């Protein structure tokens, strides 16, 4: 971990304890975390761990896609319901849903994309990192794609909790019609408590949510089987010809139908983003053993019910349930949709950490919530920002049907970008030659662009929401990256090698003052900017100057014997490295005792900790570039304070500011 306080620098990359060289490319360090697998050779324990993680993944990873049956088939029926539906219509819709699940989720994500992980982490930014490294140089168009994909994903993460919980609470109207005025207030209360418990951590939430969601999927599949037995003709929907014939027969409304059908796979991108929380094997196991069969059976059951009772089209999901069990089903659906929101929330945490590592967002405080899975994290700033956005959406749109119009664009946009980045990655990594890679990706592209075109028709009805969110967040990310690169470029020109500087200062006539000065820096091989400013402006040098670097290891807790290392350069300069596990709070004050054991000698009462803070100053003519610079300067004020983050002694911290023109 690094600790220079310049704006834009996020929590330090996770590195091996023996690694002393700081990577110049932040991309190399994204998601360099453990997967939490056992290494004790006990295969029985490993199987138990995978099974436990799979159950947790059912609740956290698949909660979103698992609640799509509540509204996806219903919304797909709406455009054709006014003239009544035929068996061909129902089989066509079911065929489109089933094959979308097979191609877009089972094949694209589960079989292929989950293998494209950046050392355990997934998501569009992790895929960008792999692509960037495969290309071998920075590509602005590829970076722009990644920023757009991440921005759209945040839009999805805000809409998912709103539509999921709202659609379930609306089910109470089937039992008590008088509940209609209370749907929105009850939804707001549920969402508030959902975000409050996030600080408990993904592992705790998964233990509570996983078993409930297993029951949810099991009940969904069972309800579907009951109807399929009564009308087995719906099994013909596995034939893709029904879907093709449906689109050809309903050309006028085909795009409207596709926009609704796409709701069946809206949780797929969150599935990829949550990879670091559980690992590939548990996610794949959960999908093929429970999630996919339950979803298909339920959609087929809804289709069978509509064929036997066309009046069930108003809410085919809840009509599957016997009236006597409907209250219990509504309660279970409400719990499932609350859980469904977790996929987007957890994915947003992972996406934010990746964005900080790439220099796309300011530094925020990250709290690790699991000793076994370093990918399980909590970011308070993101949590409360999401809550504010979700509550605003619920109040503004008022019902799930209105929100459904806003839902698809964010998801399909991110999916298309993910597919495009995977193509670039395959070609540059020489996994496949360009013609074969394009041939491989074309079917997925065709489906996704068809869904995108269908969802663009909803822009006026609510689709503008994710587009506005993406534009706002994308501009902020681009401004931060652009400003950070400008500041780094200017500071790079002033870098001075530490060892040569230490030799030159050994016989310098500069005024010496007693005591020890600790200079926190991300790179222990160069002179910290705070030291140079102290020398330039105060014209003094301490008797002992310690270059202090903080690293975060890939293990939960660092062993005491490797907590600190000490290297004496000469009589006046030394280097100290403090190491912490990813579950530990980097408390420098306490760790100084370990530095003493490593050989460092200092008097606390005559020691000071120096931080260099760069403050961007906007210059230049009025225009687009100045606007982006102003955004960067504004965001820099919200970057986490390094003195608090590293728990430095408050009465011993000296900050030396530097105004940098951007």
pLDDT tens track for 134-154: 888 888 999 999 999 989 888
For position 280, what pLDDT does the model report? 84
* Residue of higher predicted confidence among 538 and 49: 538
What letters, b where the CB count within 10 A reaches 16 and e where it falls short, cover 359-380?
bbbbbbebebbbebbbbbbbbe
Of 162, 185, 12, the C-alpha closest to 465 is: 162
Percent of residues, the chain, with pLDDT higher than 90: 24
Q: With a cut of 90, say whether residue 636 has pLDDT above it.
A: no
For position 3, what pLDDT does the model report? 37
pLDDT tens track for 401-433: 677 666 778 788 888 999 999 999 999 988 889
What values do phi and psi take at 520, rounded to 5? Answer: -80, 135
Contacts with 437 (C-beta within 8 Å, 6 or more apart), sequence order = 423, 426, 427, 431
- Indicate left, alpha or beta for 543 from its phi (over 0: left) and psi (-120 to 50: alpha): alpha
For position 556, what pLDDT does the model report? 61
Burial class (CB in 10 A: 0-12, 13-18, 19+), 623: exposed
Q: Are 153 and 269 in contact (CB under 8 A)?
A: yes
Whole-model pTM: value is 0.76
For position 621, what pLDDT does the model report? 78
- Indicate left, alpha or beta for 547 from its phi (over 0: left) and psi (-120 to 50: alpha): beta
d(CA 72, CA 94): 11
Q: With a cut of 70, say whether residue 215 has pLDDT above it.
A: yes
Alpha helices in 493-623 (DSSP H): 498-506, 529-533, 588-598
Q: With a cut of 70, say whether residue 18 has pLDDT above it.
A: no
Q: Are 115 and 347 in contact (CB under 8 A)?
A: no
Of 288, 377, 350, the C-alpha closest to 54 is: 288
∠ CA 20-22-26, nearest 5°, is 145
pLDDT tens track for 549-606: 988 775 667 888 889 999 999 889 999 999 987 557 688 888 999 999 999 998 888 8
For position 99, what pLDDT does the model report? 94
Q: With a cut of 70, say whether residue 27 has pLDDT above it.
A: no
Helix (H) and strand (E) counts in the chain: 25, 8
Burial class (CB in 10 A: 0-12, 13-18, 19+), 246: buried
d(CA 435, CA 446): 16
Strands 377-378 and 367-368: antiparallel
- Structure-block tokens of residue 420: 């495009």
Q: Count of CB atoms within 10 A of residue 655's CB?
A: 14
pLDDT tens track for 345-380: 877 887 888 788 788 888 888 787 766 555 677 888
For position 537, what pLDDT does the model report? 82
Most confident of 53-57, 271-275, 314-318: 314-318
Q: Mean of the pLDDT values across residues 10-15?
A: 38
d(CA 246, CA 235): 16
For position 12, what pLDDT does the model report? 40
Q: Mean of the pLDDT values across residues 187-206?
A: 80
DSSP secondary structure string, 371-386? Answer: SS-TT-EE-HHHHHHH
């Amino acid at each position: 971990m690094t600790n220079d306080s310049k704006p834009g620098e996020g929590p330090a990359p996770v590195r091996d304890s023996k690694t002393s060289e700081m990577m110049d490319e932040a991309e190399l360090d994204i998601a360099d975390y453990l997967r939490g697998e056992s290494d004790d050779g006990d295969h029985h324990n490993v199987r138990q761990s995978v099974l436990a993680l799979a159950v947790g993944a059912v609740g956290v990873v698949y909660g979103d896609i698992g609640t799509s049956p509540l509204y996806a088939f219903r919304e797909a029926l709406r455009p054709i319901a006014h003239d009544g539906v035929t068996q061909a219509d129902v089989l066509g819709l079911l065929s489109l849903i089933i094959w979308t699940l097979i191609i877009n989720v089972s094949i694209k994500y589960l079989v292929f994309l989950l293998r494209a992980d950046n050392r355990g982490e997934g998501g569009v930014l992790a895929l960008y990192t792999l692509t960037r490294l495969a290309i071998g140089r920075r590509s602005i168009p590829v970076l722009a794609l990644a920023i757009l994909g991440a921005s759209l994903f945040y839009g999805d993460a805000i809409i998912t909790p709103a539509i999921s919980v709202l659609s379930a609470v609306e089910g109470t109207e089937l039992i008590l019609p008088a509940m209609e005025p209370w749907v929105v207030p009850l939804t707001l209360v549920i969402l508030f408590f959902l975000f409050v418990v996030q600080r408990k951590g993904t592992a705790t939430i998964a233990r509570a949510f996983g078993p409930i969601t297993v029951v949810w999927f099991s009940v969904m599949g069972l309800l579907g089987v009951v109807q399929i037995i009564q009308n087995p003709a719906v099994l013909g929907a596995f034939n893709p010809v029904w879907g093709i014939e449906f689109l050809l027969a309903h050309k006028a409304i085909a795009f409207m139908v596709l926009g609704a059908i796409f709701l069946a796979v809206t949780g797929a991108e969150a599935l990829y983003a949550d990879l670091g929380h559980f690992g590939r094997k548990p996610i794949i196991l959960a999908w093929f053993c429970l999630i996919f069969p339950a979803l298909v059976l339920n959609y087929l059951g809804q289709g069978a019910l509509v064929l036997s009772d066309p009046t069930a089209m108003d809410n085919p999901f809840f009509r599957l349930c016997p009236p006597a069990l409907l209250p219990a089903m509504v309660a279970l659906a409400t719990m499932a949709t609350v859980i469904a929101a977790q996929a987007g929330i957890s994915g947003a945490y992972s996406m934010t950490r990746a964005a900080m590592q790439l220099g796309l967002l300011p530094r925020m405080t990250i709290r690790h919530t699991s000793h076994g899975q370093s990918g399980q994290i909590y970011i308070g700033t993101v949590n409360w920002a999401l809550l504010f956005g979700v509550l605003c959406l619920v109040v503004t749109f008022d019902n799930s049907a209105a929100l459904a119009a806003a839902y698809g664009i964010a998801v399909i946009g991110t999916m298309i970008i993910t597919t495009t980045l995977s193509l670039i990655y395959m070609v540059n990594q020489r996994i496949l030659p360009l013609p074969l890679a394009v041939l491989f990706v074309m079917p997925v592209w065709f489906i996704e662009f068809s869904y995108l075109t269908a969802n663009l028709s909803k822009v006026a009805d609510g689709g503008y929401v994710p587009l506005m969110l993406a534009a706002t967040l994308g501009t902020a990310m681009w401004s931060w990256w652009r400003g950070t690169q400008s500041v780094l470029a200017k500071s790079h020109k002033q870098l001075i090698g530490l060892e040569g500087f230490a030799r030159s200062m050994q016989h310098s006539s500069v005024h010496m003052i007693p005591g020890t000065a600790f200079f926190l820096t991300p790179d222990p091989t160069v002179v910290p900017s705070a030291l140079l400013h102290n020398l330039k402006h105060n014209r003094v040098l301490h008797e002992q100057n310690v270059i202090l670097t903080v690293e975060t290891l890939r293990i939960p807790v660092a062993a005491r014997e490797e907590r600190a290392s000490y290297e004496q350069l000469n009589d006046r300069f030394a280097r100290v490295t403090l190491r912490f596990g990813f579950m530990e709070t980097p408390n420098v004050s306490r760790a100084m005792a370990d530095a003493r054991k490593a050989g460092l000698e200092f008097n606390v009462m005559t020691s000071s900790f120096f931080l260099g803070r760069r403050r961007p100053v906007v210059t230049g003519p009025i225009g687009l570039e100045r606007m982006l610079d102003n955004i960067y300067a504004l965001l820099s004020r919200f970057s986490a304070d390094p003195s608090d983050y590293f728990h430095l002694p408050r009465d011993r911290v000296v900050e030396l500011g530097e105004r940098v023109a951007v």
